[in-house]
A and B are shown apart, each in its own frame.
Chain A
Amino acid sequence: MKSVEIKSCNSRFHKNIGKYAVSLSDSCFHCGLCVEICPYCVFERKDGFNHVLAPNSAGCLGPECKEGPYYCTTKCPVDAIKIELDPQWKTLGDFRWTPDLIITTWQQAETGEIPRGNLEYRMGASGGGFDIFDFTADGLTDMSSSEIDNIITSDKISTSICLNRRGEGASIEIPVPWYGAGMSFGSISLPSMLARAHSAKAWNTFTSTGEGGYPDELIPYSNHVITQIATGLFGVSEETIKRAPIIEFKYAQGAKPGLGGHLLGDKNTPGVARMREAVPWNSLFSPFPFHSVYSVEDHKKHIDWVKSINPDALISVKVSTPSDVDMVAVGSYYAGTNIINLDGGYGGTGAAPEIAKKNIAMPIEYAVTKVHKFLVEEGVREEIVLLASGGIRTALDIAKSIALGADGAIIGTSDLVALGCVRCGNCESGRGCPRGIATTDPELEKQIDYLWGAQRITNLYASWQKQLKLLLYKLGLKDIKELRGRTDFLRRIDEK
């Protein structure tokens, strides 16, 4: 595989958000010493000017810097520099996506490197599931940077997975154990979709159309775009099925299991409506469930129907996680599915009732374990690909879901965070996302240049692959496939 181009890709905003607030008091006489010593560009003085600019706090490492040679506060001749925890930090993020995770995801999207600061980039703070597990061996602390570089660049550790494990049909391998989740045109903007597709192409992996049709702009990326068929059948046609190497049946979505899809009227702009063959400015509901599928046999009928249109396509089935999800998975296997995508309850969404997000269906951590175990007992585990989604935020989450029994993962929200999402949760109504990501407002969506966005996602993926390679090295493994089901590599960190 040709190597993926990683290049630095800065934030599109004037001001970045950081954990610490750096301020200069009135006693500063603009000697410029801080500009010279700080290597993180917190202080800047424009050429030919006297005054030091207002500090760029986002670059500051905070108290951690104290140990090193660059600590400005003690070096300042007039004690004018003050570093404190930014009260703004508390307003960012939540338990699942902590401010640390959001900022470090942004950092990875900018640089393509594993974050080196003191922010927690590996897990959230939700107090359960992925967040109470760690690997028995991990961390970079005891390795020299040249050693790390060797492992990262080496080809000896493989992170690729195969998406077809049946004896027949197309053989598709992706170099990283993840691909992009379905996000429809309508829930996100066209530039966001293009950015995801462009980056999927660069990484030779996939992204999915979601249930909102297949915009013509995506055709150049068709080898890397999955066509989703969901219950509303919005934008599904013979051409879009023929075009795709993988067809995804969406039965339910983790964030709103059993409730179908929901696009509020405000976001159904004329462009979206045209694509969905609907009336503009009306709320669009995808029903639940497929009203033609009430059994495994009905499900097989659907698969046969797709196979008769596109015999080469692999079939993926996206289901959420009820208590009988293991039976659903086995049923899908017998219907001829290649990939089972379990979408856990804590996953992302463009719009969902709050009550559904926490309460309906189980988190992905439980479902993966349960389904993997059941498929092994049924003797069919080696013929099917099990992918986890719904609450996978970091490279470590991917690794943990693999250790719990999945083959790989499917990524949604992290892609959007790479594009600059702060997870404010206002994607659903009005003009949509004020940051131009999950919107169809022609003015707001201009905020994203798709090539810039593609580079950001590409960079994030690069950092993730490096983390996975390091982890595998630390665990003494050579291939991500060896990690599957190895729960013995996991330990609980919430109890001693």
Chain B
Amino acid sequence: MYKRYHIETSPVELSTTKIGKFEIIRNDACLNCGRCMTHCIYDVHERDSDDPRIMSDPVNHLCKNCFSCIQNCPYHALEMVMNKEFEKLGNTYWTPQIIHTIWNEAEEGKIPVFGAGYRGRFRGSGFDDIWTDMSEIVRPTRDGIHGREYIATSVDLGRKLAWISDFRRLNLPNSYEIQIPMLFDTNPLGLNSKSIFLSIIKAAHKLGTFAFLDIENYVNELKPYLKSIALRCSLDKITNLDQSPWKEVNFIEIVLTRKFSISELERALKKLKSENRTALISLALTDFSLSKGIFKQFMEARADILNFHADNHGQSFEGNIFICDSIRKLQLDLVKQRMRGEVTILAKGGIAAAEHLPKIIICGADAAVLDLSLLVAAGCRVCKACKLDDCPAEIEKLDPEIAEQRIINMICAWRDQLLEILSAMGIRDVRRLRGEKGRAMFYEEIERESFEFILKQKETAK
């Protein structure tokens, strides 16, 4: 029977993520009259269970910033400040707000819905300079996640032939369909923790996608999940290809070293393909400033996938180019060379929120590789210096099942939000969103187009 792809969520609370944005301070003027309790509808204020004559300390993580208790307090005994713990979360890219949002998604598995309008800046850099489009009245669209009609979020990984020259000797390259345009990276911070690897790989397994794992970190425990693992190794370290697990995986990634030669790569790919005929081979590129001609050589060497790696802030390792810009440029280059249809493009690094996913796909990626966001789902706070033995979220002690379910919840929320974006555009298949630059508005273009009168004023002033 036909079955829709469905992600099973279940709420998972995590005590280490109970960090509210606000802190209510009760000062000495309090007479314990309990007026705050009557006015708070979120149970922040309660009487002390042992001594009901006094009010207990406010339960800060429940506070929603409504100011009702503060403004209704007859003795001006309450005030609100920002919670320092909250402000300390993350960094400039992984802002406290981004971390908080992922935590909520990981806890509930639901789309974040709030009242009142948008609260942030008009625009920002990178992803925040892109608005996605919608269709108004003339094109039929669907009802988003509540719809009766199915919107596909599956994508194909692998190489495609540009054309078929001989039907009698049809030799189609292998490809895999994954149901969500998201792949996982098991080790974005170089933590080397078995329990984290296990929870991420198990989540990938359950969701029907792949998780990248460095070959050094492979242990026999992971064997049941081999089909969901993308084994990763740098070009100069590929050895013992005829052994397990190389022979059994469906997906292999080769990290190109700084100075690689194309002949060395060709040799390695040839060897890999002869040992494991079905595995997809992906090339991980860290340098976005590669010359145009090299892509052609990659494809002649029969690489199936190009995976662009940026750092956790979405910046390229060389030259500080943001991942959107690199992928847009790459997309354009490949389209100009008429090769885009033949290869799969993945983007890794800086995918920190649900809206980044459709945006990177619009820029030209087929799918995104999630990394740090998976750890955040498991409770990570993106501290400045990360030490596994001194982790405030106690990531390593976390029950892998809890981490796994939280990752699954987050992915469900992200997929549902992708569906919302697609349905607003009237697109029924995420594959059709790839490289659809026309279905997005980019800040520089739209600002110039709308406010060109300012430029004209300047010219006349001169």
Contacts and interface: CB of A to CB of B under 8 A. Distances in A.
Interface string A215-229: 000000000000000
Contact of B136 (A319, A366, A370): A319
B118 A345 contact: yes
A280 interface: no
Given A91-B80, A319-B136, A331-B138, 6 more contacts: A17-B71, A54-B76, A287-B143, A296-B138, A360-B133, A435-B67
A348 B134 contact: no
A357 B113 contact: no
Contacts of B76: 14-15, 54
B131 to A, nearest CB: 5
Contacts of B421: 355, 359-360
Contacts of B115: 349-352, 425-428, 433, 438
A295 B65 CA distance: 44
Interface in B72-87: 72-76, 79-82
Q: What 4 A-B pairs come out closest when comparing CB atoms? A: A128-B122, A258-B424, A427-B115, A13-B71
A91 B81 contact: yes
Given A91-B65, A353-B112, A257 B80 contact: no
Interface string A313-357: 000000110111100100100000000000001111111111111
Nearest to B131: A362
B441 A354 contact: no
A264 B66 contact: no
A361 B134 CA distance: 6
Contact of A359 (B65, B114, B132): B132
B425 A258 contact: yes
B449 A358 contact: no
B123 A128 contact: yes
B1 interface: no
Interface string B110-128: 0111111111111100001
A418 B123 CA distance: 27
A264 to B, nearest CB: 7
A375 to B, nearest CB: 15
A94 B21 CA distance: 13
B66 A424 contact: yes
A358 B137 contact: no
A488 interface: yes
B40 to A, nearest CB: 7
B140 interface: yes
A94 B355 CA distance: 20
A492 interface: yes
Contacts of A320: 134, 136
11 contacts: A87-B79, A126-B120, A290-B137, A322-B135, A348-B116, A349-B117, A352-B114, A354-B101, A355-B111, A426-B114, A427-B115
A322 B65 contact: no
A288 B141 contact: yes
Contacts of B143: 260, 285, 287-288
B100 to A, nearest CB: 11
Given A91-B81, A426-B64, A359 B355 contact: yes
Contacts of B424: 257-259, 288, 356, 360-361
A426 to B, nearest CB: 5
Interface stretch (B239-247, B368-376, B450-458): B450-458
B410 to A, nearest CB: 13
A295 B138 contact: yes
B118 A434 contact: no
Contacts of A488: 453, 457
Q: Is the interface of A mostly helix, strand, loop or mixed?
A: loop
A264 B21 CA distance: 24
B146 interface: yes
A259 B423 contact: yes
Nearest to A131: B122
Interface string A291-304: 00111101100000
B139 interface: yes
A241 B81 CA distance: 49
Contacts of A15: 70-73, 76
B90 interface: no
B67 A424 contact: yes
A153 B451 CA distance: 35
A331 B123 CA distance: 30
A384 to B, nearest CB: 17
Interface string B233-273: 00000000000000000000000000000000000000000
A252 B134 contact: yes
Most buried by B among A259, A325, A346, A354: A354
A107 B76 CA distance: 20
A288 B426 CA distance: 10
Interface residues of B, number: 75
Given A90-B82, A258-B134, A290-B137, A430 B116 contact: no
B380 interface: no
B134 A349 contact: no
Contacts of B417: 353, 355
Given A90-B82, A289-B141, A422 B67 contact: yes
Nearest to B134: A258
A251 interface: yes
Interface string A227-259: 000000000000000000000000110010111
B385 interface: no
B72 A127 contact: no
A336 B322 CA distance: 47
A129 interface: yes
B39 interface: yes
B40 A434 contact: yes
B449 to A, nearest CB: 7
A86 B78 CA distance: 13
A88 B79 contact: yes
B93 interface: no
Most buried by A among B70, B82, B114, B133: B114
A16 interface: yes
Most buried by A among B70, B73, B130, B358: B70
A491 B453 CA distance: 10
A402 to B, nearest CB: 15
A96 B41 CA distance: 26
A366 to B, nearest CB: 4
A491 B457 CA distance: 9
A345 B73 CA distance: 37
A92 B446 CA distance: 31
A95 interface: yes
Interface in B6-35: 21-22, 29
Nearest to B39: A434
Contacts of A490: 453-454
Nearest to B64: A426
Given A424-B116, A434-B39, A434-B68, A322 B136 contact: yes
A446 B235 CA distance: 70
B354 interface: yes
A433 B66 CA distance: 9
Contacts of A425: 64-65, 114-116, 119
A391 interface: yes
A210 interface: no
Contact of B116 (A260, A427, A434): A427
Given A15-B73, A97-B119, A289-B137, A351 B113 contact: yes
B135 A352 contact: no
Given A14-B74, A54-B76, A426-B114, A355 B420 contact: yes
A436 B340 CA distance: 56
Nearest to A54: B76
Contacts of B5: none
A466 interface: no
B123 A355 contact: no
Interface in A79-99: 86-88, 90-92, 94-97
B314 to A, nearest CB: 16
Contacts of A357: 117-118
A255 B118 contact: yes
B42 interface: yes
